Amino acid sequence: MSFSTLVQDIAFRDSRSDERSSQISLPHSVARSYASTSATSVSIAGDISSQLHGGYSHPLTRAWQAERQLTKAMLIYPLFITDNPDEETLIPSLPNQHRRGLNRIVPFLRPLVAKGLRSVILFGVPLEPTAKDALGTAADDPAGPVMSAIALLRRNFPQLFIVADVCLCEYTSHGHCGILREDGSLNNAMSVERISDVAMAYAQAGAHCVAPSDMNDGRVRAIKLKLIEAGIAHRVNLMSYSAKFSGCLYGPFRDAAGSCPSFGDRKCYQLPPGGRGLARRAIQRDIGEGADIIMVKPASSYLDIISDAKEIGKDMPVAAYQVSGEFAMIHAGAKAGVFDLKTMAFESTEGILRAGAGIVVSYFTPEFLDWLST
């Protein structure tokens, strides 16, 4: 098509577009002959912004489409540490994940640290039959698995950032995340007192970050105040599980940690899955109480909440926890042939980053350390 014909063609179509109704009444073949004269006329006469393919035809230009690209520094790897020093037990419902005793952690972590592991989050798993009581006394036992692991990891891996999950459910005889009243409900004031003491013990033992996952009201403020009083607030990061939803995605974790409640559920302290406004208020509240990082958990079913967290906490880092049930689900899907494991691990994690998170707690961390190296 010559340039002059092209100009005529555009002029013709411009005039036609003023009389939409008559154009529609044209016979089909006639209408089509004017609508798509040639590829060139489509791009010039049509909407230029409709031509997107050139923007992402190369692997690098595809990577540039993301606001945040996954890096090793964004990942926190969960570790389950038992009080039996030589133990290394596979957790059946949590693919490839183990409960390990103190003697097993350093040899396990050494190759991961060499590959670029930057951070771990510690969960204590007391297996001794006498370890649990109504107050969760074992949580801050100086000889217990978490307190010992903090010191051990600080000694062996000086560059590793150590997060200590703070909760009582692994240590209470009833398996709830705080101290209970006679009627079985949470005694918030006593729980906050206890949780903040446990957080202080982990911080004093050398944790770089304490992460309360209990969901008692006011625990962030209580922990922050104690850190300030002790003169260590400047060196301890406070990461709050601000928007932690109740639901059915923590099952494999509770198998791993032995933290299933012996009666009832956690619906009166973890958030209801539909509670977007409540989550926003919880995030707002925790920022006001002195959290340094806010976390959303689980991740993939709560991407709108991650996005809300980034909007409300636009000046702070947002973390998301891809929890045990999400991880197990991805493994199950891959095993059933629904998708490729690695592709789905990336797709789900990139979705979490796109929603607004810059930190991801992920059971895929060891795999990502390999995948991100190649």
* Binding annotation for Zn(2+): 167, 169, 177
Give the residue at shortest CB distance from ligand PBG. Answer: 253
Task: Please name which of 273, 205, 244 lies closest in space to residue 361, comparing C-alpha atoms.
Answer: 244
Binding annotation: 167, 169, 177, 254, 266, 324, 363
Cβ at position 177, least distance to ligand PBG in Å: 5
Locate 96 and state its tokens.
């490839």
Establish whether the linkage from the previous residue to 298 is cis, with ω within 30° of 0. Answer: yes
Q: Which of residues 208-237 bind ligand PBG (CB under 6 A)?
A: 213-214
Stretch that binds ligand PBG, among 37-45, 110-118, 152-160, 164-172 (CB under 6 A): 164-172
SS3 116: coil
SS3 259: coil
Q: 75 with 365: CB under 8 angstroms?
A: yes
Set 297, 310, 314, 335: catalytic member: 297
Considering the rule CB under 6 A, would residue 296 count as an interface residue with ligand PBG?
Answer: no
Using CA atoms, how far apart are residues 33 and 27, in angstroms rounded to an integer? 10
Among 323, 330, 353, 359, binds ligand PBG (CB under 6 A): 323
Q: Indicate the residue among 208 and 254 with the shorter CB distance to ligand PBG.
A: 254
Q: Indicate the residue among 167 and 179 with the shorter CB distance to Zn ion.
A: 167
Known catalytic residue: 342? no
Q: Indicate the residue among 41 and 240 with the shorter CB distance to ligand PBG.
A: 240
Considering the rule CB under 5 A, would residue 122 count as an interface residue with Zn ion?
Answer: no
Residue 342, classified by CB atoms within 10 Å of its CB into exposed (0-12), middle (13-18) or buried (19+), is middle
Residue 127, classified by CB atoms within 10 Å of its CB into exposed (0-12), middle (13-18) or buried (19+), is middle
SS3 72: helix
Cβ at position 266, least distance to ligand PBG in Å: 6
Considering the rule CB under 6 A, would residue 253 count as an interface residue with ligand PBG?
Answer: yes
Structure-derived torsion over alpha carbons of residues 166, 170, 175, 179, reported in degrees to the nearest 10: -40
Stretch that binds ligand PBG, among 68-76, 178-186, 223-231, 247-255 (CB under 6 A): 247-255
Known catalytic residue: 244? yes
Considering the rule CB under 6 A, would residue 177 count as an interface residue with ligand PBG?
Answer: yes
Among 70, 120, 177, 283, binds Zn ion (CB under 5 A): 177
Using CA atoms, how far apart are residues 278 and 308, in angstroms rounded to an integer? 11
Stretch that binds Zn ion, among 78-86, 165-173, 221-229, 354-362 (CB under 5 A): 165-173
Q: Give CA 139 to chain center in angstroms.
A: 24
Give the containing element (helix H, strand E) for 112: helix 102-114
Q: Indicate the residue among 9 and 286 with the shorter CB distance to ligand PBG.
A: 286
Using CA atoms, how far apart are residues 246 and 254, in angstroms rounded to an integer? 13
Binding annotation for 5-aminolevulinate: 254, 266, 324, 363
Using CA atoms, how far apart are residues 137 and 144, in angstroms rounded to an integer? 10
Q: Which residues bind Zn ion (CB under 5 A)?
A: 167, 169, 177
Q: Which residues bind ligand PBG (CB under 6 A)?
A: 165, 167, 169, 177, 213-214, 250, 253-254, 259, 323-324
Just list the catalytic residues.
244, 297
